[in-house]
Amino acid sequence: MKAALAQISPQFGNIRENLDLHLKFIEKARRRKADLIIFPELSLTGYTLMDLVPEMAIEPARHPLFRKLIAASRSIDIVTGFLEEKERGLFYNSAAYLAGGKIVHLHRKVFLPTGGMFEEAKFFARGRHFRTFATSFGKVGLMICRDFLSYAAGYLLFAGGADLIIVVSAAPGRGVAGSDRFATSRMWELMGETISFFSTAFVLYCNRVGVEDGKTFAGGSFIFSPAGRRLAKAAEVDEEMVIADLRLEDIRSARKKWTFKRDDQPEVILHALERIVRDDED
C-alpha cells in the first residue's frame, strides 16, 4: 500500500478554506496512487481555538463540509483532525478515519496537555478509549499528539492487534538541535522508533506546520516500519506531502523474528493494574 502524510499549515478558524486544502492534497495523493492520506491534529480548524471551541465544533456525520470529505473517501482512505461536538456543549479534540464513503472510526483525544503553553483540558472533554478497528490494510489504531507519549496507550493498541498505528499531531517545535532541527523532534521520532519496533507495526506520524498564536509547529512527520526502521521523513517547518510504499508483509516478517505479540499476556497486565488501582485507593 501507499501512504501519504499531508504536512499542512491549516488556516486558523476557517473550515471552508481548510477543506479546500484537504481536497487539494487528496487529489494530489490520488494522482500519485496513494491508498491512504493522513492529515494533522485539528487540521480542519487550526489548534489554538480556546474560546472559539463552541463556534468551530461540528457533528461530523451532519456537517455539509465534512460530508465532502466522507464522499472523497470513496476512492482513498482519509484520516483528518477536527473539533467534535459529540453531545450538546460537550467538545472533543477528535480524529476520524474515513473509507468507502463512511466514518469508519472516531478517536477522541485522551491525554490533554494543560500547563505551560497548553490549555486543552480547559476547553475539551477527555476521550476514554483506545481501540483498534478493521480496514482493508489490517487493524488500525489512532492516537492524537500527546496520546502518543503515553507508552500505555501504545501498548493498548498493540494488545488490540494494531498493524498500523496512526498519530495525528500539532506539536510545536521547542529548543534547537542543529541549524534545521527542533530539539523536541527527537522525542517524537524516538517514540516512533520504539513503538514500531516493540509493536511490530507501522507507525505513521503526521504533524502540522505553520505559526499560530506565537507557536511554531515543527513538522517533521515520519513513518517507521514494523522493524523500527524509518521509512520516510518530512522536512521541519515547511508544508509538504510525503508518500511511502508500505510492504504489509513486513508485519508478518517482523512478528516471526520478534515474538512480542505471540508472548504478550494482557490478562497479567490487567490484573496488575487492578491491584495497583485498588492499593492506591486504600
Average confidence (pLDDT) over 52-70: 96
Hey, which bits of 36-163 come out as E strands? 36-38, 77-87, 90-99, 102-108, 114-115, 118-119, 132-135, 138-144
Tell me the pLDDT tens digit for each residue of 88-122: 999 999 999 999 999 999 999 999 999 988 999 99
Q: Per-domain residue ranges for the chain?
A: 2-256
DSSP code at position 133: E
Write the burial class of residue 86 (CB in 10 Å: 0-12 exposed, 13-18 middle, 19+ buried). Answer: middle
At 182 the pLDDT is 86
At 158 the pLDDT is 98
Fold (topology level) of 2-256: Nitrilase/N-carbamoyl-D-aminoacid amidohydrolase (3.60.110)
Closest CA to 109 of 73, 138, 84: 84
Write the burial class of residue 242 (CB in 10 Å: 0-12 exposed, 13-18 middle, 19+ buried). Answer: buried
At 76 the pLDDT is 98
Predicted confidence band of residue 174 (pLDDT cuts 50, 70, 90): confident
Share of the chain above pLDDT 70, in %: 98
The reported pTM is 0.96
Average confidence (pLDDT) over 70-79: 98
At 177 the pLDDT is 64
At 175 the pLDDT is 77
Closest CA to 138 of 33, 247, 228, 37: 247
CA distance between the termini of the chain: 51
At 180 the pLDDT is 67
Alpha-carbon gap, residue 106 to 198, rounded angstroms: 25
**pLDDT over threshold 60, residue 14:** yes
Q: What is the dihedral of CA 94, 53, 205, 192, to 10 degrees?
A: -90
Alpha-carbon gap, residue 68 to 72, rounded angstroms: 6
Average confidence (pLDDT) over 130-154: 97
Write the burial class of residue 59 (CB in 10 Å: 0-12 exposed, 13-18 middle, 19+ buried). Answer: exposed
At 281 the pLDDT is 76
Helix 266-281 and helix 151-159: axis angle, to 10°?
Answer: 140
DSSP code at position 5: E
